[in-house]
Structure formats: structure tokens, C-alpha cells
């Protein structure tokens, strides 16, 4: 930056680096999407084309930014998660939020015609706003992801029932709102099933559970065992001796492995001057100064950082520069997938441990 008398103005910029060693979540939301959805005739209560467009845009953002470890989307919102060790843009909040928002908006417009080929975009174009929140612990992050998925279920159940009352029940918006006021989940399920024959559990999972975007890595296959490794000790011995071309093997008495053991030595086998071996008179625990053998169970192995239940999330040493570059290249080559699964339980996270550890498998 050139030195000039005007350079002082840069001191008005305030630092906005997010707290280190915390999980960063950047959540974006569609701006004025109620009007936008009405303008382009989005289906109610869900438009699969619009959801697939959101997912494709999120995949494109993850391709552009390998530092994102996982993303979760529902309706017109998406949450992008950066690992607690992330140093992208020196963790500057404004840079992270503006990059996610602008990249997502650009790809949303770019992919639009692939999902709405007969409805070209016209101004005002779709845009998104964003915010960044940091979470200090893994439990906080898991609770945030669970909160968003629970919100997806609650909103979708309400909207499914609301639009069933309008489209199939003949009610207007105000009457449908009054009928659903104060109802519980079981009441909405009963309305759907008893009046309209709709089993909510049979609704598409993308509507009920939202979308999870993450990197998938191929499972390494173990190398085949060699011939020697696949043999048992007895068969291995038989193979070796057979290779020696011994006569009448395995009936050769010289190599009868089942022959009786030789008789124990007698006193005549020892020289007269050799004294008999002495029996030990002390055990390890009786020797002065020697520690007694431990009878307590072994100490538990410390859990790896990122594993559920590790309250303090033990830190793993930072990788070397070379290792970090190799890890980045693996993330760039990884396949980005979209699944509609439960992320409240632990199964999803345990089966894909690399998401929370931040290290590629």
C-alpha cells in the first residue's frame, strides 16, 4: 500500500477476527424469498426443484472452499461449518461471511436454468444474507446442527398439514391457521392421516430431515494376504518339509511331529562339580526396592479430539506444512455428496469421523 497523507483512514477499520480454537458456522438465508418463491411459482409446501438447486449451490461452495467440513440446508437457508483449527482469511468474520454469501448467490444464479429451464431469472435477482457464529465446544456444534434439523421437522410438519388443509380440505389461509393454533405434533399427524390419508413418515426424507453436504472418501481395502500368511503353523511346516522332497513324507518317522518327548535329564547327565540349580527364594514383590506388580486396570486411552463425549476435546498436534498441503489436496479431490439423514444421533458422525477431526482419512 502506497504511503500517503490519506493512509490514516485505514485505522478506522476494526479487527473482526473470530475467536481462535472455536467452531465457525456461517448461516445464510434467502432475502425476501417469500416474494421470490411466489414470483416463480414454487410448489407448496415444498418444491423439490428449489431444494435441489440449493443443494447444488452448496456443493459448489464446498468445492470452492475446501476448509468447509460439513454443511446443512433446509428451505432457503444453509449452514456452513469450519473446523476449529481453520485459519482461512485469518478467521476474519467479514471475509468469511462475504465470501460464503457471494459465492453461494453466484452459483445459485449460475445453476438456476438447470432446475428451472422454462423460468429465466429477471431482476430483482435472488440474493442471500449471512451471519457467523462461533461455538467453543463440539457439544455446542452438535447441538446447533440438531437444532436446525429439529426446526426442519417442526416447520415441515406444520407446512405439510397447513397446505393439506388448504389444497385438500378447502380451507383458506386464516381458517387453516386457526385450526392449527395450539396443536401438537401428534395432532397434526392425526389430521394428515385421518382426513387426507397422509402418513407423515412416508414423506420424502429431504423434506423431513433436510440435506447434509459433506466430503466422501473411498474406503481403503486391505491388501490380500500372502500364501504364507494364510497358512496355519502346521500346514506351513508341512509345506516347507514337502519342498525338501523328503521320502515318504509325512510318514517318515524321522519327522514324526507326534513322537514322544525325550526323557528328562538325570543327575548322571550333569558333571559332578556342577551344583544343582537353586530355586528362587524371593518373588518380585518381595525384593527390597522393587515395585510390586500392578493389579489395577490399565488407564483409559485418551479420546481423540472431535469424538463425542470428550468433554475437553484433547488437542491433536498441528500437522506439518507438507502434511497440511497433502490434506488440502485430498479434500479438493474428494467427492462431495448430499444425503438426507439423521444428524441428531451419533451414528452419522461416528461413521464419518473425518468431518469432526478435520483430517482426511
Q: Is 309 annotated as a binding residue?
A: no
SS (H, E, C) the chain: CCCCCCHHHHHHCCCCECCCCCEEEEEEEECCHHHHHHHCCCCCCCCHHHHHHHHHHHHHHHHHCCCEEEEEEECCEEEEEECCCCCHHHHEHHHHHHHHHHHHHHHHHHHHHHHCCCCCCCCCCCCEEEEEEEECCHHHHHHHHHHHHHHHHHHHHHHHHHHHHHHCCCCCHHHHHHHHCCCCHHHHHHHHHHHHCCCHHHCCHHHHHCEEEEEECCCCCCCCCCHHHHCCHHHHHHHHHHHCCCCCCCCCHHHCCCCCCCCCCCHHHCCCCCCCCCCCCCCHHHCCCCCCCCCCCCCCCCCCCCCCCCCCCCCCCCCCHHHHHHHHHHHHHCEEEEECCCCCCCHHHHHCCHHHHCCCC
Q: Is 182 annotated as a binding residue?
A: no
The CA distance from 42 to 36, in Å, is 9
Q: Is 16 annotated as a binding residue?
A: no
Q: Is 29 annotated as a binding residue?
A: yes
Which residues make up each annotated binding site? Answer: 29-30, 75-76
Which residues make up each annotated binding site for GTP? Answer: 75-76
Which residues make up each annotated binding site for Mg(2+)? Answer: 29-30, 76
Amino acid at each position: 500500500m502506497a504511503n500517503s497523507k490519506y493512509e490514516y483512514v485505514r485505522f478506522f477499520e476494526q479487527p473482526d477476527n473470530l475467536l481462535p480454537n472455536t467452531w465457525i458456522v456461517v448461516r445464510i438465508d434467502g432475502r425476501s424469498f417469500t416474494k421470490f418463491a411466489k414470483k416463480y411459482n414454487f410448489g407448496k409446501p415444498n418444491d423439490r426443484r428449489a431444494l435441489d438447486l440449493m443443494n447444488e449451490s452448496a456443493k459448489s461452495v464446498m468445492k470452492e472452499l475446501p476448509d468447509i467440513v460439513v454443511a446443512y440446508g433446509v428451505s432457503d437457508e444453509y449452514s456452513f461449518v469450519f473446523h476449529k483449527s481453520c485459519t482461512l482469511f485469518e478467521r476474519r468474520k467479514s471475509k468469511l461471511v462475504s465470501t460464503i454469501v457471494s459465492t453461494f448467490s453466484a452459483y445459485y444464479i449460475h445453476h438456476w436454468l438447470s432446475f428451472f429451464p422454462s423460468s429465466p431469472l429477471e431482476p430483482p435477482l435472488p440474493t442471500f444474507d449471512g451471519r457467523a457464529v462461533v461455538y467453543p465446544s463440539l457439544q455446542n456444534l452438535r447441538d446447533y446442527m440438531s437444532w436446525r434439523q429439529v426446526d426442519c421437522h417442526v416447520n415441515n410438519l406444520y407446512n405439510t398439514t397447513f397446505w393439506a388443509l388448504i389444497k385438500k380440505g378447502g380451507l383458506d389461509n386464516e381458517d387453516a391457521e386457526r385450526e392449527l393454533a395450539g396443536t401438537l405434533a401428534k395432532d397434526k399427524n392425526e389430521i394428515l392421516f385421518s382426513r387426507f390419508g397422509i402418513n407423515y413418515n412416508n414423506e420424502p426424507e429431504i423434506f423431513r430431515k433436510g440435506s447434509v453436504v459433506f466430503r466422501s472418501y473411498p474406503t481403503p481395502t486391505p491388501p490380500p494376504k500372502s500364501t504364507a500368511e494364510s497358512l496355519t503353523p502346521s500346514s506351513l511346516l508341512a509345506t516347507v518339509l514337502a519342498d525338501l522332497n523328503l521320502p515318504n513324507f509325512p510318514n517318515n518317522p524321522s519327522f514324526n511331529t507326534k513322537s514322544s518327548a525325550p526323557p528328562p535329564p538325570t543327575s548322571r547327565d550333569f558333571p559332578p562339580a556342577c551344583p544343582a540349580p537353586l530355586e528362587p527364594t524371593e518373588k518380585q514383590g518381595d525384593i527390597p526396592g522393587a515395585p510390586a506388580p500392578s493389579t489395577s486396570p490399565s488407564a483409559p486411552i485418551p479420546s481423540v479430539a472431535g469424538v463425542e463425549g470428550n468433554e475437553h476435546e484433547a488437542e491433536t498436534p498441528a500437522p506439518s506444512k507438507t502434511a497440511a498441503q497433502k490434506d488440502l489436496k485430498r479434500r479438493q479431490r474428494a467427492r462431495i455428496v448430499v444425503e438426507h439423514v439423521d444428524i441428531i444421533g451419533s451414528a452419522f458422525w461416528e461413521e464419518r469421523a473425518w468431518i469432526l477431526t478435520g483430517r482426511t482419512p
